[in-house]
Amino acid sequence: MSETPEVRPPVVTPARVIIALCLVAPFVAVLWVGSYSKVDPTLIGIPFFYWYQMLWVLISTALTMVAYKLWQRDQRARKEASGGAAK
């Protein structure tokens, strides 16, 4: 009387890896201070140190939005794969 175990989709999917990279990239870029701790090149008189960080505010927003959209698509696909049942 052995039952067939329920087959579940893998927890680590390519979409989830991309989501993780989108969320981790801004932290790495901003916490690695040695990579942008300089004055040149300046942008309209603003030293690189400052405009680099401000650029990452915009990039982080875009990456977070991409991660959110991918997460929504991943959750929809998992729900459809499980027959529409909530997990």
| Domain assignment of residue 57, given as a range | 31-77
CA–CA gap between residue 83 and residue 78 (Å, rounded): 9
pLDDT of residue 85: 56
Q: In this predicted model, what pLDDT tens digit does every residue of 8-54 receive, in sequence order? A: 666 888 999 999 999 999 999 999 999 888 999 999 999 999 999 99
Residue 15 burial (CB count, 10 A):
15
* pLDDT of 65 above 80: yes
Residue 69 belongs to some domain of the structure = yes
d(CA 46, CA 42): 5
pLDDT given at position 21: 96
What pTM was computed for the model?
Answer: 0.77
Rounded Cα distance, 27 and 49, in Å: 16
Residue 87, pLDDT > 90, answer no
- How many structural domains is the chain composed of? 1
Domain assignment present for residue 57? The answer is yes
CA distance 46 to 39: 8
